Amino acid sequence: MFGYVFFGLFLVVLCLALYDRLKDGSTGMVQVAVIVGIIWAGSLVASGMVMNAAIAPTVALYASDPALATNNWSLIETISGGLGNANGEILGGVFTLLISWAALKSSQLPKVLNLLGIVVGLVGIVSLVPMLNSLAMLYAVLQIVWFIWLGVIFLRKNLD
């Protein structure tokens, strides 16, 4: 819940940093990727805020009507999950695919990182297919590796 909010805010910063790094290489693709990334960030913040806002009223409702509170929480989870891309990682997948593709074209990031990002993005997009939704877990693990590697690249560049 709180994690989605903070991740969304940090994702905006990452989008802007990536735009700054890649804007001269593949302008159109980078612009679209950053817009998708910021939309993704907004959906994550919204998802987290819905869950955060629902906790107190649902707990209060539970004291008087546990069954209704359970139904209420189920509805909140559905809304929050929809906002947070729980039915497939389309926004994160498109963002990662486009950023990695643009970085590959501009040679501003390591080639292997870009190829990993393209794979991560494709796995995320494919996880939208209902029968392949379980790929979202693979996407999440690969996405974490990609984010960490990207962070190391940015930190090294800033320290030089």
pLDDT (tens digit per residue) in 8-66: 999 999 999 999 999 987 779 999 999 999 999 999 999 999 999 999 999 999 999 99
Element (H, E) at 144: helix 135-159
CA distances from 126 to 9, 80, 86, 120 (A): 25, 21, 13, 10
DSSP-assigned letter for residue 131: G
Spatial separation of the C-alpha atoms in residues 24 and 105, rounded to whole Å: 11
Which residues have a Cβ under 8 Å from the Cβ of 48 and sit 6 or more positions away?
1, 2, 3, 4, 5, 8, 80, 84
Q: What is the pLDDT of residue 118?
A: 98
Spatial separation of the C-alpha atoms in residues 143 and 104, rounded to whole Å: 17
Q: What is the pLDDT of residue 11?
A: 97
Q: What are phi and psi of 107, to 5 degrees?
A: 55, 30
Spatial separation of the C-alpha atoms in residues 98 and 78, rounded to whole Å: 28
Taking only the tens place, the pLDDT of each residue in 52-107 is: 999 999 999 999 999 999 999 999 999 998 888 777 789 999 999 999 999 999 99
Spatial separation of the C-alpha atoms in residues 9 and 137, rounded to whole Å: 22
Query: Is the pTM here over 0.85, yes or no?
Result: yes
Taking only the tens place, the pLDDT of each residue in 103-130 is: 999 999 999 999 999 999 999 999 999 9
Q: Which residues of 22-52 are buried (b: 16+ CB within 10 A; e: fewer)?
A: beebbeebbebbbebbbebbebbbbbbbbbe
Q: What is the pLDDT of residue 159?
A: 57
Q: What is the pLDDT of residue 50?
A: 94
Look up residue 143 and give its two tokens: 């996405």
Q: What is the pLDDT of residue 54?
A: 93
